[in-house]
Amino acid sequence: MQSGSDFSGINEAKHRMDHIYDHCDPRLYCSTLEDLNYSIPDSAKLICQALIEQLREVRNRDTVHVVDLGCSYGINAALLRYDLSMEDLYARWDMDHRAEDSCREIIRSDQEFFENMHQDGKLEIIGIDPARNAVNFAEETGLVDTGLAVDLESEPVSEPVEDGLASTDLLMSTGCVGYVTEKSFERLMPAVSREPPAWIANFVLRIFPYQPIQDCLASWGYETEKLEDRTFLQRRMASPDEQEKVIRQLRDRNIDPSGQEADGNLVAEFFLSRPTEEVQQQPLHQLLQP
Ligand SMILES: C[S@@+](CC[C@H](N)C(=O)[O-])C[C@H]1O[C@@H](n2cnc3c(N)ncnc32)[C@H](O)[C@@H]1O
């Protein structure tokens, strides 16, 4: 297998967040990202719920199987399963408010909280993330049904895991492309493209070129559509230094930052990849029509 794209230069422009990704509960993650108005999971919720409804209809079943790549503490799973927003999660996992609680106490109270909360439709969610402690939290609290603490940039998918991923209807990610390249997708495709093939929904910061992933998926018979004329706030820039470096990266690729990154926002675009015949039957703009 070829090596993935080298995003190290682009990642250097971005503020480093690695220290918040792998704790035994999401308090540091949430308090850090709330300050930056990290909100891409709220946008992903609206779009992915619409896709999930479509999948229920076209595949004629209640339970939809979702894989969340870069799942962290199960944030997307919480929003997709329950009537919750990022604001609710920030309030629940507020660092100051719950500073005295141990991880065990947080996990125990979250198990109870989510267990007693109404779920709209049936979802089976597998979360993938190399951050073992975060994945453990997502699994123990029941936000994901299965958590896989693996780094597909550096390790292949094992046979039992491949079988578990074979029923995937929707492979999604928020805030993850850039950490992952086409290499992770190349490793997921043998499993998730099995009949019926998964739809692949990625929210991707404009600083990361999506073409290498698009090309990888095309080699599996997938066509990619970008949601035109829409951008989604991922978060505010962490500093003037980050903003300056991000804008430089964008200008190098002839992307106009005005009204977006130039205003201090890190913004993402939405890409959906599906087998070509499904795209022809129902293009993205029709799928998302209310
Ligand atoms: C900005 S966070 C986004 C988390 C979550 N999707 C959300 O929107 O709240 C980036 C996530 O990517 C994860 N990540 C880093 N390298 C990864 C890899 N090789 N494969 C999958 N996830 C990775 C990090 O551990 C972290 O959880």
Which pLDDT value is given to residue 96?
A: 83
How would residue 1 be classed by pLDDT, with cut points 50, 70 and 90? Answer: low
d(CA 4, CA 185): 10
Residue 179, phi then psi, degrees to nearest 5: -75, -40
How would residue 282 be classed by pLDDT, with cut points 50, 70 and 90? Answer: very high
Ligand 1 and 129: CB distance under 6 A: yes
Nearest ligand 1 atom to alpha carbon 71: 6
Ligand 1 and 43: CB distance under 6 A: no
Nearest ligand 1 atom to alpha carbon 154: 19
In whole angstroms, how far apart are CA 173 and each of 43, 71, 184?
A: 12, 8, 12
pLDDT tens figures, 241-277: 999 999 999 999 999 999 999 999 999 999 999 999 9
**280 C-alpha to ligand 1 centroid (Å):** 32
How would residue 234 be classed by pLDDT, with cut points 50, 70 and 90? Answer: very high
**232 C-alpha to ligand 1 centroid (Å):** 18
Q: List the CATH code of the domain at 20-205.
A: 3.40.50.150
pLDDT tens figures, 202-218: 999 999 999 999 999 99
Give me the percent of the chain exceeding a pLDDT of 70: 99
pTM of the predicted protein model: 0.97
Which pLDDT value is given to residue 98?
A: 84
Ligand 1 and 153: CB distance under 6 A: yes
20 or 99, which is more confident: 20
**218 C-alpha to ligand 1 centroid (Å):** 24
pLDDT tens figures, 163-196: 999 999 999 999 999 999 999 999 999 999 999 9
How would residue 94 be classed by pLDDT, with cut points 50, 70 and 90? Answer: very high
Could you give the angle at the alpha carbon of 238 between the alpha carbons of 237 and 241, nearest 5°?
85
Residue 198 has pLDDT above 70, yes or no: yes
Nearest ligand 1 atom to alpha carbon 134: 27
8 or 267, which is more confident: 267
